[in-house]
């Protein structure tokens, strides 16, 4: 009997017969977390610059008028608020570029402060990637997805669902990291200090403030990301081979860049909301209620204060971070899965 060509064989192999289903849970966890520490260390400076740009924009809105600050923070203000608002050591109404912000932080605070929040990033990275990638593979393994067909509804649903679970789990750490990264040298505090003050002033549930814009940012991001990746992966399957590291890197970078551009307004809103958590200066008038402004209202106020471009502040460092981060994570994930798959096959 003649041997079946690889391309024909591939057409009958569904996703749940792929490498993911042949790996043990420990191997899947190792594969998912393999690039997490590297990505955290490499991308933290981009995160710091992005958050500072967004926090600085929020502060300039606050300084434009006392009423503007009340509308954005829904809190009372004092002279101390106007002079000690979160952002740079010397608050200016100047619009900073990414390069200017890097220079300001490096010269004014020291180069090491470009890695502000790295501890929170490392704490967040492993559970986030393990939940995200492992849950995605497990969900896909239980569908009828066939890698040789263009049925992309499964990557959309599974990618969105797995990312939602990850956001729910890591939102408190993301909030703490955002708070730490938004602080200038004069107000630097550690992870424990930020956490303690946030809970004391706003309660435990405040740790999940910003989860809604995070979902709006990350769920579409994941849908675009996994669709792009699965299209390229399916092409490799039809050719009777596994996706290469270079292809995985390219797919991750392209999808990450596209998604970052489309979802950046939600990232700006997330920063606006999270920098307010546990801020004593936002409690200047105790009778004022906690922030309840809707996401749409927040976006509207940003546009009123800064124009449409205000919704895209921090986009350059975010794209600079997201593209390589996605590329490194998916390529290292596929590399480890392939390694364990080959190792498991040789032991049988």
- Domain span at residue 341 reads 13-347
Q: Please check whether residue 3 lies inside any domain of the structure.
A: no
Name the domain count of the chain: 1
Residue among 41, 223, 210, 29 at smallest CA distance from 126: 29
Specify whether the CB–CB gap between 145 and 11 falls below 8 A. Answer: no
Rounded distance between C-alpha atoms, residue 27 and residue 38, angstroms: 18
Q: Please check whether residue 80 lies inside any domain of the structure.
A: yes
pLDDT for the residue 270? 92
Rg (CA), the chain: 22
Burial class from Cβ neighbours inside 10 Å (0-12, 13-18, 19+) for residue 1 reads exposed
Q: Please check whether residue 156 lies inside any domain of the structure.
A: yes
pLDDT for the residue 212? 92
Indicate which CATH number applies to the domain containing 59: 1.50.40.10
Q: pLDDT (tens digit, 0 to 9) for every residue of the chain, 348 residues total? A: 444 444 333 333 445 444 555 677 788 788 877 778 888 888 899 999 999 999 888 877 655 544 444 444 444 444 444 444 444 444 455 677 888 888 888 888 888 888 888 888 888 887 888 888 888 888 888 887 777 666 788 889 999 999 999 999 999 888 888 888 887 654 556 667 777 777 887 778 888 888 999 999 999 888 888 888 888 878 877 888 777 777 777 777 888 888 889 999 999 999 988 887 766 555 443 433 344 578 888 899 899 988 999 999 999 999 888 878 887 887 788 788 888 888 888 876
Q: Please check whether residue 210 lies inside any domain of the structure.
A: yes
Residue among 277, 303, 258 at smallest CA distance from 183: 277
Q: Please check whether residue 4 lies inside any domain of the structure.
A: no
pLDDT for the residue 92? 52
Rounded distance between C-alpha atoms, residue 11 and residue 150, angstroms: 12
CB count, 10 Å around CB of 80?
11
pLDDT for the residue 149? 67
Burial class from Cβ neighbours inside 10 Å (0-12, 13-18, 19+) for residue 335 reads middle
Q: Please check whether residue 278 lies inside any domain of the structure.
A: yes
Q: How far is residue 162 from each of residues 135, 137, 186, measured CA to CA in Å?
A: 5, 9, 39
Q: Please check whether residue 289 lies inside any domain of the structure.
A: yes
Burial class from Cβ neighbours inside 10 Å (0-12, 13-18, 19+) for residue 125 reads buried
Contacts of residue 236, defined as CB under 8 A and 6 or more positions apart, other chains included, come to 242, 243, 244, 247
What the block records as the tokens of 83 is 């002079």
Q: Please check whether residue 71 lies inside any domain of the structure.
A: yes
């Amino acid at each position: 009997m003649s041997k079946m060509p690889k391309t024909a064989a591939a057409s009958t192999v569904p996703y749940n017969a792929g490498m993911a289903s042949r790996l043990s849970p420990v191997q899947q966890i190792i594969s998912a977390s393999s690039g997490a520490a590297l990505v955290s260390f490499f991308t933290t400076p981009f995160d710091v610059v992005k958050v500072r740009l967004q926090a600085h924009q929020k502060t300039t809105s606050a300084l434009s008028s006392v009423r503007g600050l009340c509308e954005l923070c829904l809190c009372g203000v004092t002279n101390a608020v106007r002079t000690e608002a979160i952002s740079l050591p010397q608050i200016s109404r100047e619009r900073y570029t990414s390069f200017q912000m890097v220079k300001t932080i490096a010269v004014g605070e020291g180069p090491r402060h470009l890695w502000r929040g790295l501890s929170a990033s490392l704490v967040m990275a492993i559970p986030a990637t393990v939940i995200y990638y492992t849950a995605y593979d497990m969900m896909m393994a239980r569908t009828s997805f066939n890698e040789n067909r263009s049925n992309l509804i499964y990557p959309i649903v599974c990618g969105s669902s797995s990312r939602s679970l990850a956001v729910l789990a890591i939102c408190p750490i993301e909030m703490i990291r955002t708070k730490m990264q938004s602080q200038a040298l004069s107000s630097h505090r550690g992870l424990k200090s930020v956490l303690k003050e946030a809970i004391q002033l706003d309660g435990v549930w405040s740790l999940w403030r910003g989860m809604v814009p995070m979902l709006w940012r990350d769920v579409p991001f994941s849908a675009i990301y996994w669709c792009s990746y699965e299209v390229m992966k399916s092409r490799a399957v039809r050719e009777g081979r596994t996706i290469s590291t270079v292809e995985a890197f390219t797919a991750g970078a392209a999808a990450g860049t596209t998604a970052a551009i489309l979802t950046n307004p939600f990232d700006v809103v997330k920063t606006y909301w999270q920098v307010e958590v546990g801020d004593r200066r936002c409690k200047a008038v105790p009778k004022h209620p906690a922030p309840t402004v809707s996401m749409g209202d927040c976006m509207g106020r940003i546009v009123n204060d800064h124009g449409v471009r205000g919704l895209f502040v921090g986009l350059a460092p975010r794209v600079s971070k997201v593209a390589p981060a996605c590329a490194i994570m998916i390529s290292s994930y596929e590399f480890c899965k392939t390694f364990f798959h080959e190792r498991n096959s040789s032991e049988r």
